[in-house]
Every structure is written in C-alpha cells, then in structure tokens.
C-alpha cells in the first residue's frame, strides 16, 4: 500500500490536531502504534511538526479547515492517496468566542455565533460525509465526536455562551441522526465530553481549567478504542446499540 501503510496497520484521522486535545490524542495513538492522519489548521504552529519529527513514518499532516467544504474534500482526497481506509475518525476541532459572553442588554455578534456553529456543528458532518468512502472499507468503523457538557439542555447552568452551547447541542442531535442511519451498517459511535481542559479554545491557553490536554487524552483514547463490555455489570455502559454522551469520568450525561 502507498506510503508504507499495510493491511495490518490501524489508521486514525483527527481534526483540529494542531494543539490542545487534538495534538494529545495524536501523540497517544502514535504511542500505541497507530498510523495517524492529523488535520492541520495552523501550519505555523510548531507542535504538530515536532510530533511528526518523532514519528516520521506514522504521522501524516493534512491541511484542514472543517468550516470549508472545499478544504474537507481536499483533505479526504489526500488521505485516500495514502490509504484505502480509515478505522477511527475523531471529530475534535472546535472553537468558542469571547463575543459569545455578552449579556442580554449588549449587542450580539450573530456572525461570530454562526462561525462557531459552522465549525462545531457542521464541521463534523462535513468530515463524516467526506471520509465515508474510507470508513466503509474498515472493519472497525468507529466515529468519535468531542462534544461538551455545555450541550446538555437538562443540566444547563450557564447565562451566556449561547453560540457555543447551542452548537454542541446541535452537534449531539446531528450525531444522533448519524447513529440512527449508520449503526445498522456496523458503525460504532463515541460521543464524548473531555472535561474542562487547559486548551486554546479562546485563542490563548486557559490556565484556570482542571486538566492538561495530555491528561485528558488518556481517558479519551481509552473510551474511543474500548470495545463493548460483556458482563452484566458493564453491558449497559458499553452497549454500542445505545448512543450516550459520556464524560472523562465515565459518567453518562443527560441530553
């Protein structure tokens, strides 16, 4: 197979892999022997290139802007030139906006809210559609989506972040529809809240959060790769025939 990839390799594609959780997920999968195609939005950011220097044969950098249909299709074409399948697709790319913090008596930036929605909600759907032909030839067919507790309507406590919260709720609905259509075809799903991370969602690293991305990647990869449990105690938790939103502690979140 082209690029040194063979039929025994396990192959992942990750969006938003430049930094934060996406970079940490790539590093952890590479450490487990996976071939990783990493969606790169910021080529000037050095961390992903540094990781590639550690894994030159296993890490492939793919230009990707999930907000652009043209970019997503071009990314899928590049990956298809190197492999005939993707086993694990991780939709990780996400943004939020400082303007989204404005109160009800302040003018809203609706254009910026649409930008957040375009990345967080429509982006994963674009990626799934574009990579579907590569997923079809996989025996694993695992679709993973990094969502957030912010998308839970039942447990909503915020008084702001309209665009971000609404985008994650809409993402959850989109994944639910995908689940209904694709689960009967052998696809398995992981919808995941990774915890409050020291990430770059606002453009700069948030030092006040609970988890470093490298810490958050450990339970995330464990859950993304976990097979369905077989004992009565674990069957409901890992039943792939039921879509759940689960967090980094293993807890299920209400919709």
Contacts of 65 (CB under 8 A, 6+ apart): 41, 71, 72
- Both tokens of 173, joined, read 């609905």
Burial of 249 (0-12, 13-18, 19+ CB in 10 A): exposed
Residue indicated by tokens 């302040």: 106
pLDDT per position as a tens digit, 192-246: 999 877 776 656 666 676 788 999 999 999 999 986 444 444 445 556 999 999 9
Q: How confident is the model at residue 8 (pLDDT cuts 50, 70, 90)?
A: confident
pLDDT at 105: 76
CA distances from 92 to 38, 148, 232 (A): 11, 11, 32
Residue from 29, 91, 21 nearest 55 by CA: 29
pLDDT at 246: 95
Contacts of 25 (CB under 8 A, 6+ apart): 14, 17, 90, 92, 217, 220, 221
Residue indicated by tokens 């209904």: 180
Contacts of 16 (CB under 8 A, 6+ apart): 22, 39, 41, 66, 92, 93, 94
pLDDT at 230: 41
pLDDT per position as a tens digit, 17-38: 999 999 999 999 999 999 999 9
DSSP strand pairing (11-14 vs 88-91): parallel
Burial of 153 (0-12, 13-18, 19+ CB in 10 A): exposed
pLDDT at 102: 74
141 neighbors 120 (Cβ within 8 angstroms): no
DSSP strand pairing (245-247 vs 252-253): antiparallel
What is the Cα–Cα distance from 84 to 248, expressed in whole angstroms?
32
One DSSP character per residue, 100-111 reads: GG--TTS---HH
Flag whether pLDDT at 56 surpasses 50.
yes
What is the Cα–Cα distance from 222 to 215, expressed in whole angstroms?
12
Flag whether pLDDT at 160 surpasses 60.
yes
Any idea which of 37-41, 107-111, 188-192 has the lowest mean pLDDT? Answer: 107-111
Flag whether pLDDT at 60 surpasses 90.
yes
């Amino acid at each position: 197979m082209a690029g040194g990839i063979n039929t025994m390799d396990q192959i992942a594609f990750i969006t938003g892999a430049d930094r934060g959780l996406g970079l940490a997920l790539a590093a952890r999968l590479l450490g487990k022997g996976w071939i990783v195609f990493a969606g790169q939005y910021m080529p000037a950011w050095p961390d992903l290139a540094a990781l590639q220097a550690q894994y030159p044969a296993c890490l492939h950098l793919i230009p990707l802007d999930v907000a652009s249909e043209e970019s997503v299709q071009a990314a899928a074409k590049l990956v298809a030139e190197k492999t005939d399948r993707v086993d694990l697709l991780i939709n990780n790319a996400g943004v939020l906006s400082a303007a989204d913090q404005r109160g009800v008596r302040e003018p809203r930036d609706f254009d910026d809210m649409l930008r957040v929605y375009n990345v967080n909600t429509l982006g994963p759907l674009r990626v799934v559609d574009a990579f579907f032909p590569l997923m079809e030839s996989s025996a694993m067919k695992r679709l993973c989506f990094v969502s957030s507790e912010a998308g839970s309507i039942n447990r909503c406590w915020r008084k702001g972040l309209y665009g971000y919260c609404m985008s994650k709720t809409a993402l959850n609905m989109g994944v639910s529809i995908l689940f209904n259509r694709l689960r009967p075809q052998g696809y398995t799903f992981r919808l995941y809240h990774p915890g409050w991370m020291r990430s770059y969602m606002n453009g700069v690293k948030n030092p006040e959060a609970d988890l470093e991305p490298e810490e958050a990647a450990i339970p995330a990869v464990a859950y993304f790769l976990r097979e369905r449990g077989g004992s009565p105690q674990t069957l409901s938790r890992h039943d792939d025939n039921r879509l759940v939103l689960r967090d980094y502690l293993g807890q299920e979140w209400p919709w």
